[in-house]
């Protein structure tokens, strides 16, 4: 198996996730939407991706953990 995943790899498909956040955070996200023109979903997806990239010691999904 190649170490570089292809686009048809199921682990690279987008999945939706519903979360509850405080109203204050929702209003901040809405303000960002108005200021940047980027959707709230795209803003949150980008933020989550950047946050999780900070956990370099986590194994990649689909890899064996000893």
pLDDT tens digits, 24-49: 999 999 999 999 999 999 999 999 99
Assigned domain for 47 exists:
yes
Question: In Å, what is the CA distance from 34 to each residue of 7, 30, 31, 48?
Answer: 32, 6, 5, 20
Give all strands (DSSP E) within the chain, no chain letters.
Answer: none
pLDDT on residue 60: 74
Is residue 8 within 8 A of residue 14, CB to CB? The reply is no
pLDDT on residue 10: 80
Number of domains comprising the chain? 1
Assigned domain for 26 exists:
yes
Tell me the whole-structure pTM to 2 decimals: 0.66
pLDDT on residue 59: 76
**Domain that includes residue 29, residue range:** 21-53
């Amino acid at each position: 198996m190649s170490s570089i995943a292809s686009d048809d790899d199921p682990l690279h498909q987008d999945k939706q996730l519903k979360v509850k956040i405080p109203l204050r955070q929702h209003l901040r996200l809405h303000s960002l939407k108005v200021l940047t023109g980027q959707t709230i979903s795209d803003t949150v997806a980008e933020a989550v991706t950047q946050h999780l990239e900070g956990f370099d010691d986590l194994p990649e999904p689909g890899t064996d953990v000893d």
